[in-house]
Structure 1
C-alpha cells in the first residue's frame, strides 16, 4: 500500500496545512456586535460566571471612546441585544435606559492603554474566586488551557472596590500586554481583540482554576514544557477557531433558551 502523502510531512507543515483548511471550512453566523455581547453574557452565565449583579462585559463601539455594556440591575442571564447600554469613558449613557455599573471605570483605563483590545470580560466565577482567595496565580498545566500560557497576569494585592481611577491604573498596569489577569480576592479580567476570543478565554480561565484546585488537592502540579505550551497557545488562538468555538457555545444557548425567557438576540 502506498504511503499517504501527509504521513511524511513535518509537524510545522501539518500545522500550516490545517490552518489553511480552517480558513476555508470554519464558518460562523454574522451576528452584530450587540448580539455577540448579549450572547457572551448568556454563555458565561451558563458557564458559572454569574455572581448576582457583579461583573461586566464590554465591547468597543463603532465610535472611539464609546463602548457597549449591560445595565446595572440586570444579571448576565437577562441581557439582550436591545437592553445593552452605549456609554462613553465617563460612563455617561448615550443610548439605552438606566445606568452602567460604576465598576466599569477600570474598563476605560484598559481601553486607553490597549488599542488592540476590543472586548473586556470581568467576572467572579467560583473557582477563579476561590483561587484568588489563596493569593496564588493561575497555573497553566493542561493542553486545553494552553491558550492562557504566559498570557495571564496576577494582581497579588486587592485594591478594593474598583470604582476609582487608582484601581483602573492598577488593573490596567498589571494586565500589561497580556490577555487576562487573575485579581487576588476579587476575580478575573480578560481583554482580547474580539468578543469571541474574550468569551472563550474567560471560559478557559475558570476551567484552568478548577483543574488547578482539583490537582493541588491530590498532589503537586507539574509544569509544561514551555516550547510545547507556546505551540499549543498559538495553535488554539486563531481567529477562525475563536469564531467557531464561540458559535458552538452560542448554538447551545440559543437551543436551550426556554420559552418565556427573553431571547438574547431580541
Structure 2
C-alpha cells in the first residue's frame, strides 16, 4: 500500500513567500503561537546557505516580535555580521552542533511548559502515541543537566547527546530539535511539546504503554516525509498569521 504523500504545502492558501528570511520569521511566529515564547529563553537558528554563518534573533526579542529589523546574521563565534544587536549567548551550543553534525541546517530550542515539566522526571522522550513516532529511535537523551548552555563544555555535551539523531531531550531543561530544514526543526519542536503534554496527562492516570517498535518505525518514516512536514509548517504559519491579524483588528 502506497504511504508516500505528495501534498501542495500551501494548498488553499495562495502562494506564500518561502524565502529563507520569511521562513525564519514564520518559524518564530509559529513557535510563539504554539506557546513556546517564555521570556527570552530559547533560540532559533538556521544556516545561511552552505556557510558557517547563522540567522538568528537579536537578544531581547521575543518570538512573537520577530521581524526584519530583529534578525541577525552571525558567525560561528556569535559576532554580528549583519543587523543590530547581539545574539543570545545560548546560541553558542548551536555552533557546536553545526560544527559536529554537518547535515544539520537548523536548530530550535525553546522552554515550553510541558516539555520543561516532563524533563523533571529524569526519563527519555516517551513514544506512546502515533503523534510522537517521529521521535522513535531518533531522540537522544542527556541524563545530567550541565548548567546554562553558554560555554564550550555544555555545547560539547549537548552536541554529543544528539549522536546522529534529529532531537535530544535534556533532563531538567527541555528539548533540542534539529532539521535538514528549518521547517523540519519547527515541526519536531512543536510535536515534542504536544507529546510532553499528552504524556503528563496520561501519567496522571497510570503508566504509559509504548508504541510497538515496528509500528513506531513505520509511523516515524511516514510522519517525517517532507510533504507532511512542509504542509504542516505552512498550515501553522497561516494559523499564526490569522491570530496576529485578529489581535490587532
TM-score normalised to structure 2 length = 0.93
Q: Deviations over 1:138-197 (max 9, x none)?
A: 201111121111111111101011111011100000111111111111121101101111
1:205 maps onto 2:192 in alignment: yes
Offset of 1:62 from its aligned partner? Answer: 2.2
1:26 maps onto 2:8 in alignment: yes
Question: Who is 2:13 aligned against?
Answer: none
Question: Who is 1:113 aligned against?
Answer: 100
Q: What is the alpha-carbon distance in structure 1 between the residues aligned to residue 125 and residue 206 of structure 2?
A: 16
Question: Who is 1:93 aligned against?
Answer: 80
**Alignment check: 8 A CA contact 1:138 1:212 kept:** no
Which structure's CA Rg is the greater one? 1
TM-score normalised to structure 1 length = 0.88
Q: How many residues align?
A: 243
Offset of 1:260 from its aligned partner? Answer: 8.3
1:148 maps onto 2:102 in alignment: no
Call closer, same or farther: CA 1:260–1:48 in 2, change over 3 Å.
Answer: closer
**Alignment check: 8 A CA contact 2:125 2:135 kept:** no
Query: Which segments of 5 or more consecutive residues in structure 1 lack a partner in the other structure?
Result: 1-10, 262-266
**Alignment check: 8 A CA contact 1:120 1:191 kept:** yes
Q: Deviations over 1:95-135 (max 9, x none)?
A: 00000001100000000111111110011110110011121
Query: Which segments of 5 or more consecutive residues in structure 2 lack a partner in the other structure?
Result: 11-15
Call closer, same or farther: CA 1:123–1:62 in 2, change over 3 Å.
Answer: same
Q: What is the alpha-carbon distance in structure 1 between the residues aligned to residue 198 and residue 242 of structure 2?
A: 28
